Chain A
Amino acid sequence: MNKLEQEIIDTIAEEGAIDKSEIKLDSNLYDLGIDSLSSLEILVALESKYDIRISQNRLKKIDNIKDIIGVVSSELRKKQRKHNVT
């Protein structure tokens, strides 16, 4: 697990009030006790932490931890590209 993945999992654990040891990359959010309302606030916390804005289209099909990591990584890459251009 890389540093970014670890950080994201730490945020999910904190926001979702879940024991870190229970969170695996393929853990389903609902099985972790994260329903649609809780997942919203986790995503907001990640947006604030990394100063990103997840596009509406990327909000679909976020079912497991890997999906969240994928979305955040992709938005961070987008941000980096934008930064490089400017």
Chain B
Amino acid sequence: MKVGLMALSGVRVRSEKLVKLGVTLPQFVSRGQVIAQLPSLSLLIIASLTPDDIEVDYVEVPDVSQVKKLALDYDLVAITSYSAQIYEAYELARRYREASIPVVIGGTHIIAEPEEAKRYADSVVIGEAEPLWPKLIEDFRNNSLQPFYKEECPGTYALSNSPIPRYELLEPKNYNRITVQTSRGCPHDCEFCAGSKLFGNGFRQKPVDLVIREIERIKEKWSKPFIELADDNTFVDKKWSKDFLKALISLEIKWFTETDISVADDDELLELMYHSGCYQLLIGLESTSRDSLDGIDTHNWKLKHRDGYLEAINRIQSNGITVNGCFIVGLDGDTPNIFKEIRDFIQKSRLLEAQVTVLTPYPGTPLYKRLKSEGRLLKDKYWDRCTMFDINFRPKNMTIEELEKGLLWLFEEIYTEKEYLKRKRYYMDIVKKLPKRGE
């Protein structure tokens, strides 16, 4: 028996103006390249959960329309995808089913829209793979595949039981960065977040020794890998964080993760991050405007931290860790002035990198439900515009045209080579003064 595990990879942008502009902006392109090359961790976990006597193939499909001839030597195909590529995933599923190969589909979009997905697949996985896949594969062997496999209590699966993903299925030369997950969830509960709540409430973390074993497994194939921690917010628990970082130092890796700005308050943590090989933290600052931050998360955590953003970024970057600051435009508090405010902030803070995206109503999020109830979605189920760069809603305090024009203007301002080189030179001068990592 053979199972084909298919990931729809790559970044999508629909707006022609943005596509045209994007290819000319080096910094925009470089992060896109990185994202496009990240392996799908969920499929590698599924491979681990599959019994040894079943052969598995890990396949990345960057563009379904370019797949002229399908590999048909599978007994079952499992597909995962994000919302932006979901119609492509459905098309791939349709083609496999046409070839009489049953299809299973899962992922964050599917958790939010299982009935929609069922129209295109034989079976739909609603939840995390670990508690569901073993039963699914057993049923498939017994010719009793069920239409839906749903996690009974989302968010309760103990990550200490999670298997080590089958990294050995990856061809080393195809991956500059390898993903490792240390946690699921985030305590901040942001209205727009499509990741942290769909797998259940709460924050769960893997034991340090399990994460270290995963990295050691990776090192069997990549001697000095660049690890991208596939977390929503890695350093929520500072005690766990320090234990983890201390264990990481001897592994001599480079790594990147997403976390929140509170890491700046802990000097020991920052020092451990630097020496354990942290090259960059991606931090959701979301906005520079108080009005826009107000109500973004249930406890107004980000609004409360907003006045400390500049100092916090400086403290993190001074410790030799670059910050990729993430901003969202189109928030309800945004007026047309927001673009200039964000540009000025990026220049003043000297963030090495910045990621500006447009507010995106992903399915299943409180934001989606609210905008839908307020009649502000341009079109329902407009999933292929869930790219984070395309607009699919009516902003509150500006027009759609103002939002689109402002986004393009901001891209041109912050992603120009001149601006980036200025920030790059500044950061290089910081690193020069620091001791060598690990010493």
Do these two chains interact?
yes
Binding site for B on A (CB under 8 A): 17, 30, 33, 35-38, 40-41, 43-44, 47-48, 54, 56-57, 59-60
Partner-contacting stretch, out of B155-163, B196-204, B427-435: B427-435
Contacting pair B279 A37 (CB below 8 A)? yes
Chain B 414-436, CB-CB to A under 8 Å as 1, else 0, gives 00010001101101100110000
Contacting pair B431 A41 (CB below 8 A)? yes
Quick one: which of B223, B280, B322, B431 has the most chain A CB within 10 A? B431
A-B contact pairs, 12 of them (CB 8 A): A17-B223, A35-B33, A35-B177, A35-B226, A36-B27, A38-B254, A40-B431, A43-B428, A54-B428, A59-B421, A59-B424, A59-B425
A50 to chain B, nearest CB (A): 12
Contacting pair B279 A38 (CB below 8 A)? yes
Chain B residue nearest to A18 in the complex (CB): B224
B298 within 8 A of A: no
Contacting pair A33 B279 (CB below 8 A)? no
Binding site for A on B (CB under 8 A): 27, 30, 33-34, 176-177, 223-224, 226, 254, 256, 279-280, 322, 417, 421-422, 424-425, 427-428, 431-432
A54 CA / B428 CA spacing, docked (Å) = 10
A55 to chain B, nearest CB (A): 8
Residues of A within 8 A of B424 (CB): 40, 56, 59
Residues of B within 8 A of A36 (CB): 27, 30
Residues of A within 8 A of B425 (CB): 56, 59
Contacting pair B226 A44 (CB below 8 A)? no
A34 to chain B, nearest CB (A): 8
A30 CA / B33 CA spacing, docked (Å) = 10
Tell me whether A33 and B226 are in contact in the complex, defined as CB-CB below 8 angstroms, given that A38-B279, A47-B432 are known contacts. Answer: yes
Contacting pair A60 B421 (CB below 8 A)? yes
Residues of A within 8 A of B226 (CB): 33, 35, 38
Quick one: which of A43, A44, A54 has the most chain B CB within 10 A? A44
Contacting pair A17 B431 (CB below 8 A)? no
Contacting pair A47 B33 (CB below 8 A)? no
Residues of A within 8 A of B27 (CB): 36
B181 to chain A, nearest CB (A): 21
Q: With contacts A30-B33, A35-B34, A40-B431 known, what are 12 further pairs, Cβ within 8 A?
A: A17-B224, A17-B254, A30-B176, A33-B176, A35-B33, A38-B279, A40-B424, A47-B428, A57-B421, A59-B421, A60-B417, A60-B421
Contacting pair A37 B322 (CB below 8 A)? yes
Sort A-B residue pairs by CB-CB distance and give the 10 closest, nearest first. Answer: A17-B224, A56-B425, A37-B279, A44-B431, A59-B421, A33-B176, A56-B421, A36-B30, A44-B428, A44-B432
Chain B residue nearest to A47 in the complex (CB): B432
A27 CA / B287 CA spacing, docked (Å) = 40
A47 CA / B424 CA spacing, docked (Å) = 14
Residues of B within 8 A of A54 (CB): 428
Contacting pair B176 A35 (CB below 8 A)? yes
A35 CA / B36 CA spacing, docked (Å) = 13
Chain A residue nearest to B430 in the complex (CB): A44
A30 CA / B226 CA spacing, docked (Å) = 13
B134 to chain A, nearest CB (A): 35
B39 to chain A, nearest CB (A): 14
Residues of B within 8 A of A17 (CB): 223-224, 254
A36 CA / B176 CA spacing, docked (Å) = 12
A35 CA / B226 CA spacing, docked (Å) = 10
A54 to chain B, nearest CB (A): 8
Chain A residue nearest to B437 in the complex (CB): A41
Residues of B within 8 A of A60 (CB): 417, 421
B197 to chain A, nearest CB (A): 30
Chain A residue nearest to B33 in the complex (CB): A30
Residues of B within 8 A of A47 (CB): 428, 432
Chain B residue nearest to A36 in the complex (CB): B30
Contacting pair A56 B422 (CB below 8 A)? yes
Quick one: which of A17, A37, A44 has the most chain B CB within 10 A? A37
A56 CA / B427 CA spacing, docked (Å) = 11
Residues of A within 8 A of B177 (CB): 35
Residues of B within 8 A of A30 (CB): 33, 176
A71 to chain B, nearest CB (A): 12
Chain A residue nearest to B252 in the complex (CB): A17
A41 CA / B278 CA spacing, docked (Å) = 12
A30 CA / B36 CA spacing, docked (Å) = 14
A38 CA / B428 CA spacing, docked (Å) = 11
Chain A residue nearest to B434 in the complex (CB): A44
Residues of A within 8 A of B431 (CB): 40-41, 44
A61 CA / B164 CA spacing, docked (Å) = 39
A32 to chain B, nearest CB (A): 9
